[in-house]
Amino acid sequence: MPHSDSTLSSPVSPKPRRGRGRPAHADGDAAPVSARLLDAATALFAEQGFDAVGVRPIANRADVDPAMIAHHFGSKLALWEAVVDRLSLRLTDRLAAVALGPGSASARLDEAVGQIIDLLCDAPELAAFILREVVLPSERSAYGAARLANPIHHILRPLIADVVAEHRADIDVDYLFVALNGAIVVSIVSRPLLDRLADPADDAQFRARLKATMAAQMAARIGI
Amino acid sequence: MPHSDSTLSSPVSPKPRRGRGRPAHADGDAAPVSARLLDAATALFAEQGFDAVGVRPIANRADVDPAMIAHHFGSKLALWEAVVDRLSLRLTDRLAAVALGPGSASARLDEAVGQIIDLLCDAPELAAFILREVVLPSERSAYGAARLANPIHHILRPLIADVVAEHRADIDVDYLFVALNGAIVVSIVSRPLLDRLADPADDAQFRARLKATMAAQMAARIGI
């Protein structure tokens, strides 16, 4: 699987180290310091996990002084929590707009799944972060459940329940919620494997196949 | 998520340390040294990941002398590979028997999925091991793909292809393979979350709900 590493590291590549005397938060940098730290932390936590990553590598990758982590977030744990919160806000913003929009429950659920796929394909390190730091149990699991899993569940559950009620009453809605999200996240992290098992896909093909697979997997289509 | 840790550690609990002078490989121990080392390594790699786990904690958990790892396996990496190989053999043994058995492709696929669910519910640390050490990319990804993903794909792909061909020609079989396995593994690792989101389930209920969810998610049922 030769490009497994590049899958994770390409969206946030390490920048060249800044020149001597250039301040850490120089004007002309594209993103604010806090956003650069969040990007760097997301990528490193996704690759190595919370415990293995120190604040210095995060600051180096963000090209800022390590003191900026304490200044902006307070601690490595608070930075981790901010990564979860930013991810949660991005997902719930998109999902809430779809869930409250027009159309049948089935169509809105398809659209919501498409939004999750698009967001995670735009930044595949988020899928790895979710698997390693939210799905796998850790001392941080309660935070991940409360701030990421629960809000998404709150938005998607009514849609899934409507779709299941329409077609099959004997499927547990919450199990379907977890299975659906698990299938999406694992598929995105497994893209290098999929490029070897199936015909290699460019980015648009990958998303289209994944959306078709998820739509096919949904109870939405069962009984139709 | 108070019982997230026990989910992982309960199947292979640390044994009490042996008394002074009692040999590491005393007669009367239930399992052979190599099997105890494989169990201990599986659980620790699943909880913490390959890089974070030293050979000494593995030997301690297996209640054997650390030199036994070199004696039986040669290295930590070779022990990790042996964990993958044992898991692969267990899964492919069960799946091959089902795949070659009687019944429609759809019925055999349901049965194969049930076998995967039963095996991983019997030892949930295997599901965490798969997520952390096979799905998430690492220097060991090529081995995991070659020795675990490929053999299972080889057995299940013809079943999935038959089912898809029967009902919908426009779903990518390999994407469905990854999505299906991803849904199973994430659901099993997420059991503590599911016990909070849904009605808490005893072990038999958990398996039954998961099998029903997976059957519902499969293209097997689409169009029926």
In a domain, B30, yes or no: no
Say which CATH number the domain at A210 has.
Answer: 1.10.357.10
Report the gap between the CA of A34 and the closest CA in chain B (Å): 27
pLDDT reported for residue A119:
98
For CA atoms B13, B131, A178, B217, the dihedral sign is negative
- Residue B30 pLDDT exceeds 70: no
Average per-residue pLDDT for chain A: 86
Taking the Cβ of residue B135 and every Cβ of chain A, the question of whether any pair is shorter than 8 Å is answered with yes
- Residue of B178, B189, B196, B207 to mutate, testing the A interface (most A Cβ within 10 Å of its Cβ): B178
Average per-residue pLDDT for chain B: 86
Percent of chain A at pLDDT exceeding 90:
72
**Structurally, how many domains does chain B consist of?**
1
pLDDT digits (tens, 9 = 90+) for A83-121: 999 999 999 999 999 999 999 888 899 999 999 999 999
In a domain, A146, yes or no: yes
In a domain, B34, yes or no: no
Distance, CA of B208 to CA of B198 (rounded, Å)? 14
- What is the pLDDT confidence band of residue A10, given thresholds at 50, 70 and 90? very low
Q: What is the mean pLDDT of residues A125-140?
A: 98
pTM for this entry: 0.86
pLDDT digits (tens, 9 = 90+) for B142-187: 999 999 999 999 999 999 998 888 776 578 899 999 999 999 999 9
Ramachandran area for residue B212 (φ above 0: left; ψ -120 to 50: alpha; else beta): alpha
In a domain, B186, yes or no: yes
In a domain, B31, yes or no: no
Distance, CA of B173 to CA of B150 (rounded, Å)? 14
Q: What is the mean pLDDT of residues A193-222?
A: 84
pLDDT reported for residue A169:
57
For CA atoms A3, A7, A11, A15, the dihedral sign is negative
Q: In which domain, by residue range, is B90 found?
A: 83-222
pLDDT reported for residue B34:
97
- Residue B75 pLDDT exceeds 70: yes
In a domain, A131, yes or no: yes
Which of B132, B142, B187 comes nearest A136 by C-beta? B132
Structure tokens that stand for A142 in this block: 């309660």
pLDDT digits (tens, 9 = 90+) for B206-217: 999 999 888 876
In a domain, A61, yes or no: no
| Inter-chain touch A178–B186, beta carbons under 8 Å | yes
Taking the Cβ of residue B122 and every Cβ of chain A, the question of whether any pair is shorter than 8 Å is answered with no
The string of DSSP letters for chain B reads: -TTHHHHHHGGGPPPPPPPTT--TT-TT-SS-HHHHHHHHHHHHHHHH-TTT--HHHHHHHHTS-THHHHHHTSSHHHHHHHHHHHHHHHHHHHHHHHHTSSS-HHHHHHHHHHHHHHHHHHSHHHHHHHIIIIIS--TTHHHHIIIIIHHHHHHHHHHHHHHHHHH-TTS-HHHHHHHHHHHHHHHHHTHHHHHHHS----HHHHHHHHHHHHHHHSGGGBT-
Taking the Cβ of residue B3 and every Cβ of chain A, the question of whether any pair is shorter than 8 Å is answered with no
Distance, CA of A221 to CA of A5 (rounded, Å)? 36
In a domain, B212, yes or no: yes
Taking the Cβ of residue B141 and every Cβ of chain A, the question of whether any pair is shorter than 8 Å is answered with yes
Cβ-based burial of B196 (10 A; exposed 0-12, middle 13-18, buried ≥19) = middle
- What is the pLDDT confidence band of residue A164, given thresholds at 50, 70 and 90? confident
Which of A168, A175, A214 comes nearest B194 by C-beta? A175
